[in-house]
Amino acid sequence: MEENAVDLFDYLRVIWKRKILIIVVSSVCIGVGVGVGVMNSRLKPKLPVTYRAAAVVKIGKKVKLAPTSGIQTTVTYIESPAYLMKTFALDYDTKINEVPGYHLDVEQVGALAMLKLILKGPDRGVERVLKGLVDMLIDEHHRKAKNSVVAYKDFMNRLEADAEMLKKEILVIEAGIREMKGKEGEYLMHIDSITKKGGASGDRSAFLNMLYLKTIDKERELSGNRASLREIQRQLIMQQITLGNLEEYKTELVGKIRSSAIEPKKKKQRSTIALAVVAGLIMSLFIAFFMEYIEESKSKRKGKLQG
């Protein structure tokens, strides 16, 4: 223990004695390391800046005529968000490849009918190109929605024509019912006058029954036509509401297109500096102990010569 303590004390004494040498050598090594790191960073080719533009697009809807037992209309997406996410880059590859180095990523925003478009490239033109892609998508969806509305309006026109035809038939049936009821009244009055004069009334029950049955048939037909008219009018109201809501379902850009520049990550010089510190410390200690060894060797040699 005493020998170890003496050795440690000797080491610390040497370090304290040669502290200026150790500080100078370490500082020189650190300076050299920092200089080498700076030179390497300047000599390395500068990495290019990557530009990024992002946009969020809400997918619109269109009307679709679905033939069933009758004609039913449904509101569906102009294009399925999941399908569009996979095919968007292929459909617009000409615009994307306008400048070499452009790369487009398309992802769905959660479970929403929204797509996030991210375009990366070597210049600031990414924002302009991405805006062009969004405009092309909006125009194409607007055209598809407009075409679906044209067919939808034709269907509504047919419904309106059917409604007008039913209205006319109802008027004709109502007139026929009034006419038969008038004939029934006239016939009863005629029979009553003959009976009062003492004449024979004949078999009036058959004629009255015939008028009654015809009236029942006409009223049944009238009731059916009125029910059909009400159903058509209900459909027209629903279709008009659906048509009015389509304005809220159009494909559109959510917010604004945001762009930014992504600087390449620079390699940190900490490793070079740390290596220089360690090397400087080791070198300075080696020199300090080597000089102490030389001095002790000289002093011992002088002692022998004097003795």
Q: Which region holds residue 70: left if phi is over 0, alpha if psi is between -120 and 50, else beta? A: beta
69-86 pLDDT tens trace: 445 567 778 888 888 888
Number of other residues whose CB lies within 10 A of the CB of residue 195? 12
pTM: 0.53
pLDDT class of 56 with cuts at 50, 70, 90? very high
pLDDT class of 174 with cuts at 50, 70, 90? confident
Q: What is the pLDDT of residue 295?
A: 76
Count how many residues are written for the chain.
Answer: 307
| Residue with the two structure tokens 């059917």 | 162
Query: For the chain, which residues make up each domain, given as ranges?
Result: 2-46+267-285, 50-262
Looking at residue 102, the DSSP 8-state letter turns out to be -
Share of the chain above pLDDT 90, in %: 4
* Pairing, β 252-262 against β 50-58: antiparallel
* Pairing, β 61-67 against β 252-262: unpaired
237-277 pLDDT tens trace: 877 776 666 666 788 898 888 888 877 665 555 666 777 77
99-135 pLDDT tens trace: 677 888 888 888 888 999 998 888 888 888 889 889 9
Q: Which residue has the higher pLDDT, 54 or 72?
A: 54
Q: Which of the residue ranges 63-72, 86-95, 164-173 would you say has the lowest mean pLDDT? A: 63-72
